[in-house]
Structure 1
C-alpha cells in the first residue's frame, strides 16, 4: 500500500465513477479499474457496489476510506514536520480560492511568497465556496481564501479583512430618490428597506456573494422578488445597470467589472450586516505547515 493507492480509493469514492476518478487522477480508466479489482481480490471483499447514482462504498469500503483519510492525514502531517525542520527551504503549498478572490489577492501575495521562499512549490485550485469547503474538509488543501460564514464545515481560520457591500441599480431607477450623502464617503447611502417590492438580480444560493445578499435582505425584512439568478457577479451588475433589477456586490468588485451602462452604487448601514469577512481557512484537524503559516502572514501584511 502506498499513498497514491489511497488517493485512488478516495477519488473513486468522491467521484462515484471509475471513469471520472481516472480523469481526475490522470490515469487511464482500465488501469484504475484493474487496480480496484486487484485490491478487492487481495482484501477478499468488495469495496464498492454499483447503485443508481454510481459507485457506493460497502461497509468494508467505508472503513477503507476512513483508514485512507487517516493515513494520508498522518503522512501529510509528517511531510509538514519535515518541511518545518528544513526551515522552509523546500516543500509545497496547496492553495484554494474562488476565481474572484484569487484575481485580486494572489497577485499581491504570490510574488512576495515566491521571492521569500523560492523552493516552495505553490499549486492553486479554483472553485466556489461549497467546493472549497469540501476540499478543506477532505484535507485536499493547506489553506483556502474564502469569505465567512462557513456553511458546511467546522474549520480554523484567520481573519484578514472586512469589506463593505454595496447595492447597485440603474441611474434611472426609482431608488435614486432614496439616496443620501455622508461626508467623506465614496458612495451615497441607502436604507435597504427602501428596496422592498423591487425586482432583484442575485447569484445562486450556494455562492457566498448570494448568502451575504440574503443576510442583508433578511435584516431589511425583505423577501426578494428575484427576476434573474446568475452565477456571474458581472452579469448581475450589467443587468442592474440597464434597469432589470437591484443587486448586491462587494465594493472591491466594482474595479473588476466595468459596464457600458454604469449602475449607481450605494452603501448600507452596519445594522444590515452589509459586509463580508475575508479569511484564510485551514483544516481543523491538522498542524499548519511552515509554508502555510508564512502564506497567511504575507496575506495579512498585504492587507495592512
Structure 2
C-alpha cells in the first residue's frame, strides 16, 4: 500500500519548511518542491501558501491533510496486521456459536485451539441463529455452530449432533411413577397428558426451543392451561429442578454438574422430536486445516457432553 503522496504533503505540513521536509523524506529539496507543485496542478487548487521560506496550509490543504492522516493511520494498521500474518499468526478464523451451546463448548474448545493452532487468530462470537446467518452472508463470519430449523441452498451444513427434545419433571413428582422403559427410546417414556394441569415453563417464541416444544405439545395433543414464559433456558431448567413447574429442554442443554440433580427426564412422543446441531459455512468455501479441526473438535465435545448428560 503506497501512500507516498499523502506522506509527502503531511510531512511538509508538519515542518512548514521544504528543506526540512525533504531531509526527513530522504529526497532532494527541488524534487519535493516539484512534486508538491505537480500535485497542486493535478488537484487544481493550492494546498500551501508560500510565505517566505514557510509553507502554510490553505483551507484545501487543511482538508487534504486531515484525510491524508487518516489514510496513513489506516496504512500503519494494515502494515501491522500484515506483518502479524507474515511473521506470527498466519490465519484468522471468525467463528460464531449459539449462546447456550457456548456455555458447554467454549471453555473446552478455546484452550484446545490455542494449543493446537497457536498461529491462528481466533475471533469467537456468541449469538443466536438469525444474526449469525446474516454475518455469514455478509462475510463477517467464516463459520458458525447452531441448531438450524431450515437449511439454505447456499450454505453447507455439517451435522454434529441430533439432540432430543425431552420433558423435564422434578424427581419427587408423584406422576413420575407412571414412567416406562420403552424400546427405541433413550429416556423413559411417560404420557405427557397426565401433566395437563401442571404449570408449563416455556421459553419465548423467538427461541428455537419454543418451536420444538410446541411441536411436541401438538404431537401429544396436550394444551397446557397454565403457561409461564421465560427468556433464559437455564432459568427454566433451574425452576424445574426446584419443583416450580415442568418444561422442555434439549437433552444436550442439561448440565448434570449444575442445578439439575433433581430432574427426571422423559421421552413423550414417538418418534422423538430432535434438533440437529450443525457447523455451517458458505457453500464452495475452502475450509482451512484449523477450521476443519475445529469442526471435528466441536463434534467430539458436544457428543461427549451429551452422553455425560444422559
TM superposition score category, shorter chain reference? 0.5 to 0.7
- 1:238 is matched with 238
Q: Name the count of aligned residue pairs.
A: 218
Deviation at 1:166, TM superposition (A): 2.0
* CA offsets 1:39-84 (integer angstroms, 9 cap, x no match): xxxxxxxxxxxxxxxxxxxxxxxxxxxxxxxxxxxxxxxxxxxx9x
Deviation at 1:241, TM superposition (A): 3.5
Deviation at 1:89, TM superposition (A): 7.0
Indicate if the aligned counterparts of 2:128 and 2:146 stay in contact, CA closer than 8 A. Answer: no
- 1:112 is matched with 112
CA distance in 2, matches of 1:117, 1:242: 43
Please report the RMSD computed on the Cα atoms of aligned residues, expressed in angstroms. Answer: 3.4
CA distance in 2, matches of 1:129, 1:107: 21
Q: With the length of structure 1 as denominator, give the TM-score of the two structures.
A: 0.60
Mapping for residues 62-141 of structure 1, pairs under 5 Å = 90-141=90-141
- 1:206 is matched with 206
Are 1:281 and 2:253 an aligned pair? no
Report the secondary structure of 2:271's partner residue: helix
Deviation at 1:172, TM superposition (A): 4.9
Mapping for residues 125-164 of structure 1, pairs under 5 Å = 125-150=125-150, 155-164=155-164
* CA offsets 1:120-150 (integer angstroms, 9 cap, x no match): 1111111123332332233221111111314
Gaps of 5+ in 2: 1-84, 305-310
- 1:165 is matched with 165
Q: With the length of structure 2 as denominator, give the TM-score of the two structures.
A: 0.59
- 1:64 is matched with none
- 1:292 is matched with 291
CA distance in 2, matches of 1:217, 1:185: 18
Indicate if the aligned counterparts of 1:97 and 1:145 stay in contact, CA closer than 8 A. Answer: yes
Report the secondary structure of 2:237's partner residue: helix
301 and 216 in structure 1: CA distance in 2 versus 1, 3 angstrom threshold: same
Most deviating of 93-102 and 196-205: 196-205
192 and 285 in structure 1: CA distance in 2 versus 1, 3 angstrom threshold: farther
CA distance in 2, matches of 1:295, 1:260: 29
Deviation at 1:267, TM superposition (A): 2.6
Mapping for residues 249-264 of structure 1, pairs under 5 Å = 249-255=249-255, 258-259=258-259, 262-264=262-264
* CA offsets 1:226-278 (integer angstroms, 9 cap, x no match): 521112122212332444432011223322573388233223354141x2211
Report the secondary structure of 1:132's partner residue: helix
Report the secondary structure of 1:102's partner residue: helix
* CA offsets 1:70-117 (integer angstroms, 9 cap, x no match): xxxxxxxxxxxxx9xx9x971111111123212222333333333332
CA distance in 2, matches of 1:152, 1:224: 34
Indicate if the aligned counterparts of 1:196 and 1:224 stay in contact, CA closer than 8 A. Answer: yes
Deviation at 1:207, TM superposition (A): 1.3
Indicate if the aligned counterparts of 1:130 and 1:206 stay in contact, CA closer than 8 A. Answer: no
- 1:215 is matched with 215
Most deviating of 253-262 and 243-252: 253-262
